[in-house]
Chain A
Amino acid sequence: NAGVIQTPRHKVTGKGQEATLWCEPISGHSAVFWYRQTIVQGLEFLTYFRNQAPIDDSGMPKERFSAQMPNQSHSTLKIQSTQPQDSAVYLCASSLDPGVTSDYTFGSGTRLLVI
């Protein structure tokens, strides 16, 4: 069990460029969550998939952020026209079944820096 795998570990982009972050959940886990963590805002919920279907994207800044889960083995978070305020650690977590008392396992995160 390799755990939740996130790539890349670090990404530096210029203001206005696009950034794509990848997450590979634990095999067999049905739910994938994306969070953003900063010192000021803490750990913010972005979006959530269950069995590849989007369930809740209430935390996503609508205009520039999008997330997909094309198959059960990976999810992507895309940020268009990146801004300095997008700089954060982006964390992906997966769970066996969020409807029952299962735990959530986080990946190591992608540290995004927009300059």
Chain B
Amino acid sequence: EAGVAQSPRYKIIEKRQSVAFWCNPISGHATLYWYQQILGQGPKLLIQFQNNGVVDDSQLPKDRFSAERLKGVDSTLKIQPAKLEDSAVYLCASSLGFGQQETQYFGPGTRLLVL
């Protein structure tokens, strides 16, 4: 079974530029998560989708971050414009169903460096 795919794996941009990350979850997984992991910290949930609807985006900085999951499959996370403090690893995860008991499967992440 293929895992969660993410691209690109690395990205370096200058502040005020825009960047987009792509995630393809495990086939058949209804729930998709985007996490931000700053160096030395645990992952922090940015947004959670169930199918193509947003369940939780309370921690998403909506003035600069946006995400979509068209057709309830793959997803894109965008930052525009980027700030220095956005430097982090962006992790995508998916789970078969919805709920805290569901096992989340994580992709390898996209490492973003904002200069």
A and B physically associate? no
Q: Give residues in A with beta carbon < 8 Å to B.
A: none
Chain B interface residues toward A at CB < 8 A: none
